[in-house]
Structure 1
């Protein structure tokens, strides 16, 4: 892992992978052994302020993250590609679609944030806003969004990973970006093939949330609900997730 990205595979179908708020490019590691390296070429990117790009200044917005991803695709010589995005990354992938629809083959959102953000109530907003300074808030969020059912050892590991792999300023700004940016009118009606995958134990991004947002905007939407998973299917059920992703991508 160097220069803010990780690569996997050498196939003809090019795929950008965009992580969530608590992740980085390295957060895809549990998934990689279960992907097909002969059919696909995956590139997992770090945002500014995350992972190997910690310390890189920016506005830390969805638009900037999308621009950076498109510039990176240009550097790779990728004219068309698919995008997978987890959580916040699901919002960034839709921003890429809005900015360069002719370049997107297909989209796969894993517990993806909708393009109109998240309507937090005040108590929930304070929990998430407090996560910028308080590791305990990060732990509570991860526990909540995986159904309060997973080992504390894993929760603590996820919190430490998040603290180690994001600048505080970037972490704070990206919260406002994914939660309070609304650009759904720019993607509504897009005919791009899209799959949205959620975990059965995730109360935050559920199938009902997808039906009230993604299903209204994307006529070619497929929804998959993974058993025994919450918000972090990359860690919780990587084999089932890899299967769901590639069964879709091989058709687009």
Structure 2
């Protein structure tokens, strides 16, 4: 497995990307990270980034197993997890499978462990995204509040097209949207921080309180006023500050 590490700190943070992302989608965050306190490891799922062409079941459970295999390859017994969107589901699955190895969880607009329900219009939009760049652009625009420059939207679509295999991208949609294992993590006392963007209409504060807030007694919820679904691009300095302030306590 190709592993990208940033920082030499003893606190290892495994970083998990979203459906439209890859291990490279955190670039705007990198200049603001404390590389002496933390060691960030940016991972790709099968079919994404440096693992394009690698086949599999493209499931949340498989992705979590690959994360644990990466930790073993690194020789890291205990670590924290930072997951964006779909990566929020994966990080919770890692915790469910290996709770003794996880120091803390941080979710950035994370998918709940119960999945995400769609109305019919949204379902068609999302299911068409594998074959339609226009659908991908519309989703990114919608989930950031229809307020950001088209130049950035186009770059996000290009990244998605260039860093994911079509079939993997298509298969991960039902994986994150329909996988429900929330009964396995409900009541967990793991330290967890969730960061929601005020301009995210789907995975915003209300959804986070109804899901993560109901399941994790130690949840710390942060609302970013100037972000939608992509805080690492929209508010990178604030995100690095918030994440490291939380992880520094654990």
TM-score of Structure 1 vs Structure 2, range by shorter chain: over 0.9
Aligned-pair CA distance for 1:32: 1.0
Pairwise mapping of residues 207-246 of structure 1 onto structure 2 (< 5 A)? 207-246=205-244
1:31 is paired with a residue whose SS is helix
Aligned equivalent of 2:117, options 90, 109, 119 = 119
Q: Which residue of 1 aligns with 2:172?
A: 174
Q: Which residue of 1 aligns with 2:59?
A: 61
- Whether the 8 Å contact between 1:5 and 1:25 is mirrored in structure 2 is no
Q: Which residue of 2 aligns with 1:157?
A: 155
Q: Which residue of 1 aligns with 2:181?
A: 183
Tell me the distance in 2 between the aligned counterparts of 1:79 and 1:212. Answer: 32
Aligned-pair CA distance for 1:6: 1.7
Aligned-pair CA distance for 1:4: 3.2
Give the number of aligned pairs: 250
Q: Which residue of 1 aligns with 2:94?
A: 96
Aligned equivalent of 1:80, options 78, 96, 108 = 78
Tell me the distance in 1 between the aligned counterparts of 2:125 and 2:207. Answer: 20
Regions of 4+ moved over 3 Å: none
Aligned-pair CA distance for 1:245: 0.4
Q: Which residue of 2 aligns with 1:32?
A: 30
Aligned-pair CA distance for 1:5: 2.8
Q: Which residue of 2 aligns with 1:18?
A: 16
2:28 is paired with a residue whose SS is coil
Unaligned stretches of 5+ residues in structure 1:
none
Tell me the distance in 1 between the aligned counterparts of 2:130 and 2:2. Answer: 22
Tell me the distance in 2 between the aligned counterparts of 1:156 and 1:26. Answer: 16
2:137 is paired with a residue whose SS is helix
**TM-score under structure 2 length normalisation:** 0.99
Tell me the distance in 2 between the aligned counterparts of 1:242 and 1:5. Answer: 21
- Whether the 8 Å contact between 1:117 and 1:182 is mirrored in structure 2 is yes
Tell me the distance in 2 between the aligned counterparts of 1:120 and 1:105. Answer: 32
Aligned-pair CA distance for 1:240: 0.4
- Provide the aligned C-alpha RMSD in A: 0.7
